Amino acid sequence: MIEPAKFKPKTVYVIYIASTPEQVWQALTSSEFTRQYFWERSVELEPKLGGAFVLRLPDGRINVKGKVIAYDPPRKLSVSWQVEWPEEFRKLPECLVTYELAQAGEAVRLTMTESHSWDVPDAILAGGRIGWPAILSSLKSLLEAGRPLAIAMEPPKEMIEAIKRLR
Amino acid sequence: MTDKPKFVYVTYIAAAPEKVWEALTKPGISEKYWFGYRVAADGNPGDLMTATSPAGKLSHRDPIIESDPPRRLVYGWKPLEKDKPDERPSRVTFELKSFKGQTRLTVIHDEFDEGSKIFEMISKGWPAVLSSLKSFLETGHALEPSWSEEDRKRVADAEARA
């Protein structure tokens, strides 16, 4: 079992969304929403501590798998995050992804924190630092304007190179 | 290691860079999403960026360092409010990149000294301002000032004293 205390926050992204915590929670945890803003991935979440977490590609392959580490709807969700595809990314040690939701005036403040248990190089962190703003900007557009954004993106080259160098 | 504080924030907006540029530089637009602040930054390098609070007080009077509409804008940053810490000016860079009619907006705020109190403030402030900008350009509705009650009271008290 994972020890959350060993994981240190490395990337934090805060975004305010004109919505309710319940709606943002639903957008984070239901696949009808994630398919629209998270590059067509479906989220599968067993809604309890220790439950299974999966991000699935449209063709059925597993992109990310993990376990539910914190579950407190609609305030906090934390999952362990082991990348399964692309295959060479399996060498990456699992990380923790945590969403925290708080009412802020008439909006919701959503804080995403990516935490790591090892001395992860910036080249590898670049993946999340480039990806999360795109994913969460698209989520905000979907909830507020009814339309996600069209942001095509590949993992940065520096990240792929750094993963190849991992043992 | 001497890592000077540096804030970086990226947001994607379903609007053309020209629209985002206007919103960042024209006071009549900024006051609609920047929580009532009128920010005038459409000058040339060497001109001044000014910002005026909702109560009409001057809160910024900083040099424009670079201006390449609608791609890149750089200006100095020294809050003038009496309740703000007296620190050396920092620097704000906006980079706008167009793709498929949308804009990737990157805000880099750097040139702080270590332990800067203003750095802590702007790290909380930019996500709120840029979220509101995105809402305003995509839906026509900005966000309400979303910082804590405590901060709101602090700002109100400072304005009353000024």
Which of A16, A24, A36, A153 to mutate to probe the B interface, most B CBs <10 Å?
A: A16
Pick A145's closest partner by Cβ from B14, B132, B144.
B14
Chain A residue closest in CA terms to B99: A151
Domain of residue A97 covers 9-165
Burial letters B23-57, b for 16+ CB under 10 A, else e: bbbebebbbbbbbebbbbbbeeeeeebbbbbeeee
Query: HEC states along A71-109?
Result: EECCCEEEEEEEECCCHHHHHCCCEEEEEEEEEECCEEE
Cβ atoms of residues A34 and A56 within 8 Å:
no
Which residues of A, range 105-164, sit inside 8 Å of B by Cβ? 105-107, 109, 130, 133-134, 137-138, 140-141, 144-145, 147, 149-151
Regions of chain A short of the pLDDT cut 50: none
Q: Is residue A27 part of a domain?
A: yes
What is the separation of C-alpha B38 from the centre of its chain, rounded to a whole number of angstroms? 11
pLDDT above 60 (res B2) = no
Quick one: pLDDT at residue B110? 98
Q: What is the pLDDT of residues B26-66, one digit of tens each?
A: 999 999 999 999 999 999 999 999 999 999 999 999 999 99
Q: Do residues B49 and B37 touch, judged by C-beta distance below 8 A?
A: no
How far off is chain B from A133, nearest CA to CA, in Å? Answer: 6
ipTM for the predicted complex = 0.95
Overall number of domains in chain A: 1
Chain A nearest-CA residue for B131: A16
On the question of pLDDT at B150 being above 80, the answer is no
| Local structure of A65: helix, strand or coil | strand
* Interface mutation vs chain A, best among B1, B3, B11, B12, most A CBs within 10 Å: B12
Helix (H), strand (E) at residue A57 = none
Torsion on CA atoms A154, A155, A158, A164, rounded to nearest 10: -120
Q: Which residue has the higher pLDDT, B129 or B154?
A: B129
Within-domain flag for A2: no
Cα A131 versus chain centre, distance: 9
Q: What is the pLDDT of residues A74-113, one digit of tens each?
A: 999 999 999 999 999 999 999 999 999 999 988 999 999 9
Computed over every residue of chain B, the mean pLDDT equals: 91
Which pLDDT value is given to residue A163? 95
Q: Which whole-number Å values give the CA distances from B138 to B16, B64, B135, B147, in the listed order?
A: 11, 27, 5, 22
Distance CA B142, CA B147 (A): 14
CATH (domain of A132): 3.30.530.20
Q: What is the pLDDT of residue B1?
A: 46
Helix axes B17-25, B117-139, angle to 10 degrees: 130
Task: For residues A120 and A125, give the distance between their C-alpha atoms in angstroms, rounded to a whole number.
Answer: 7
B111-148 residue pLDDT tens: 999 999 999 999 999 999 999 999 999 999 999 875 55
Contact B139 A18 (CB under 8 A): yes
Sketch out chain B's domains with CATH numbers: 7-161 (3.30.530.20)
Of A14, A18, A149, the CB nearest to B135: A18
The answer, for B147 touching chain A at a CB cutoff of 8 Å, is yes
Q: Which residue has the higher pLDDT, B159 or A16?
A: A16
Nearest CA in chain A to B148: A104
